[in-house]
Amino acid sequence: MFLALKEMQRAKLRFGLLAGAVGLLVFLILFQQALLGGLINQFIGALKNQSADVLVYNDQARKNLEGSIILPDQLAAVAEVEGVAVAARLGESTFTVVAGGEELDAVLFGYELGGPGAPTTLVDGRLPEGPGEGVASEKDRADGFDIGDTVQVQPDGVTITVVGVARDINYSVAPVLFVDFATFEDAKRTRNPDATEILPSVVAVQVADGADPAEVATRITAEVDGVEALTRQQAVDGSPGVSSVRSSFGIILALFYLVVPLVTGLFFLIVTFQKASALTLLRAIGARASTLVGALLVQVIIVMLAGSVLAFGLYAGAIQGVKNLGVSVEVMPAVVTSLVVLVLALLASVIAIRRVLRLDPLSATTGAGVHV
């Protein structure tokens, strides 16, 4: 420990620059991860944060909520499948609304009160208890979707009073209102007054106690004609665009995770070459190889921890500028990322460690330098 700290004290600039470089790379990893989570929540937060264990789509919809319609006989058949405790209607559609005095697009989710499909991330207020009430996204409070605000479906349609707000329930990057299914029907009839029946987009299923949602979903798909049942997570992962976004960010993050250990490993390998003569002399006067390796590992850990602290500061500051995307600081993912990067850096330092272990103490007596 003394040897490692003494060397770092004498080469503050060198180790400081490395810690800064590591900090910037870790910051970019954290920021990209936060953006990925925020974008996915903006795209499909309403699906992710609703209470149904299984969602049953029309099999022609290809997991697209906008393109799915469930017929009454399919709804009845789903309710009869073993493992299904409750099968309820869940409707989704995009409407033009007036909120906060301005006209904009919003997505309405209509669910049967007391059944599956309700938002699960309520942060203020309450869930709807009857027609004309809704829960809005916390992100859109300032745009006319705060508790007590009224939102009117256009043209001159049903008026919805916001009685609660929930976190991360946007859909397709648009404001969302969770309402009872009767209010959803009224909104749909605003556009089509002659409609005799409003069909749900999907069936929201609550599985029986002890039942596995994945097994129930498979059973529904096999036993009910014309439907495809997905667990909540499968519905999120299969939503159009989500897999593409994750793949793109995955490639970027993989490159960052590759660069961090390469930079760290190369730095310590070069430093090992540069101080080879001094290390050989230390070995010649009795320093154990384990002592030198331990000093190297201590330096790697200190540099990576210092870089991570710098990254946390940059990350927390940068997040403040993109809060409109629903991005927030999450401590646990940041800690996990730092630990992963630290492990990768320690693995990358193996090459430098091997060079240290290969030092020959007799080389200090030849006057011909050292070979590493």
- Give the pLDDT mean for 158-175: 92
Q: Quick: pLDDT tens for 276-329.
A: 777 776 667 766 777 778 888 888 889 889 998 998 888 888 777 665 555 666
**How far apart, in Å, are the Cα atoms of 18 and each of 13, 135, 209, 252, 304?**
9, 49, 54, 22, 9
Is pLDDT larger for residue 371 or for residue 50? 50
Q: Quick: pLDDT tens for 190-217.
A: 888 877 789 999 999 999 999 999 999 9
Residue 368, pLDDT score:
46
Residue 356, pLDDT score:
73
Q: Quick: pLDDT tens for 227-270.
A: 999 999 999 988 877 877 778 888 888 888 888 888 888 888 88
Q: Quick: pLDDT tens for 76-106.
A: 999 999 999 999 999 999 999 999 989 999 9
Q: Taking a C-beta distance cutoff of 8 angstroms, is the pair 187, 134 a contact? A: no
**How far apart, in Å, are the Cα atoms of 48 and each of 56, 234, 325?**
15, 10, 16
Is pLDDT larger for residue 177 or for residue 33? 177
Query: Is 372's pLDDT higher than 50?
Result: no
Q: pLDDT band at 68, cuts 50/70/90?
A: very high
Q: CB-based contacts of 292: which residues, under 8 Å, 6+ apart?
A: 3, 279, 282, 283, 356, 359
Mean residue pLDDT of the chain comes to 86
Percent of the chain with pLDDT over 70: 90
Query: Domain residues of the chain, as ranges?
Result: 2-43+242-365, 47-234
Q: Taking a C-beta distance cutoff of 8 angstroms, is the pair 164, 141 a contact? A: no
Q: Taking a C-beta distance cutoff of 8 angstroms, is the pair 109, 177 a contact? A: yes
Query: Is 367's pLDDT higher than 60?
Result: no
Q: CB-based contacts of 220: which residues, under 8 Å, 6+ apart?
A: 54, 56, 78, 81, 84, 205, 227, 229
Query: Is 369's pLDDT higher than 60?
Result: no
- Give the pLDDT mean for 114-135: 94
